Homo-oligomer: A and B are copies of this chain.
Amino acid sequence: MHSEIRSANQPKPSFIETARRAQIIDCAVEVIAELGFAQASLAQIAKRAGVSTGVILYYFAGKDDLIREVGVHVFTTGRSSIEPLVQQQLDARSALRTFIEASVAYIAANPKKVLAIMNILRAGRSDGGTLKIDPTVYQPRQIGFRNILEWGQRDGEFRTFSVAVMVETIVEALDAIPSQLAADPSLDLDAYAKELVELFDRATRADTPVQELRVR
């Protein structure tokens, strides 16, 4: 008899099961990054993994489920590499700078993962209703930036501006990087990060009081 689709509350996911799932997710990431979301068929992913398409459907409830898990995987690893660095900052300006730098560093370290995610998200957004990835997966980043910006405004480090617009602008600036990097792998991401840090530092910081600028 055939076993039912695995769900998370199953007693023991066997070793081979977790290994296969991870392998399939990795291959999905590569194919989606290299061929684009539209060309990333189950057949292509299966071929990359060296299995038949049936195996994918044996471990995942369907293509949408696989895509969802790819999203969770990438965002989870991203958060774990970025959030700790941000949380140990003592002021909002440093936190903003660190968040941007760490985000670019994560892109540099995982170009395929982030490109795959961007392809998925873009396809979802250009697709009308059928969102591929749950907002709770990618919204923490927006919330993180929002908290930092509100923090800085509260403390007077930042000027008054629309936090929503600023968050959107920052996130879009970061999300544009993966495809640029794919188009030109020699792109200097360190320099790119420095530019963004400077750009958004100037865009956010409060005007220095005039009296402090007086010379002598």
Contact = CB atoms under 8 A, between A and B. Distances in A.
A36 B173 contact: no
Contacts of A199: 161, 165-166, 169, 203
Interface stretch (A11-19, A74-82, A87-95, A175-183): A175-183
Contact of A215 (B119, B166, B203, B211): B211
Contact of A200 (B130, B175, B203, B210): B203
A187 to B, nearest CB: 10
Contacts of A120: 126
A161 B126 contact: no
Given A191-B162, A210-B213, A214-B214, A126 B123 contact: yes
A208 to B, nearest CB: 9
Contact of A168 (B118, B130, B173): B173
Interface in A143-181: 161-162, 165-166, 168-169, 172-173, 175-176, 179-180
A134 interface: no
Contacts of A202: 202-203
A161 B169 CA distance: 18
Contacts of A128: 34-36, 38-39
